[in-house]
Amino acid sequence: MPDQTTPALPNPPGGHTAYGITVHEIGEDGECIVAFGHHNPRRFFAACNHLARTVWGWPNLGDDRDATWADTEAVIFQVDGWFDDRLENPDWEWELHQVRPAGRADEPVPITMWNV
**Domain housing 35:** 16-115
Residue 6 lies in a domain: no
Residue 33 lies in a domain: yes
pLDDT confidence band for 35 (50 / 70 / 90): very high
Q: 10 Å Cβ neighbour count for 77?
A: 13
**How many folded domains does the chain comprise?**
1
pLDDT score of 1: 44
Query: What's the predicted TM-score (pTM) here?
Result: 0.84
Residue 52 lies in a domain: yes
Report the chain's terminal Cα–Cα distance, integer Å: 38
Give the pLDDT confidence of 39-95 residue by residue, as tens digits: 999 999 999 999 999 999 999 988 999 988 888 888 999 999 988 887 777 777 888
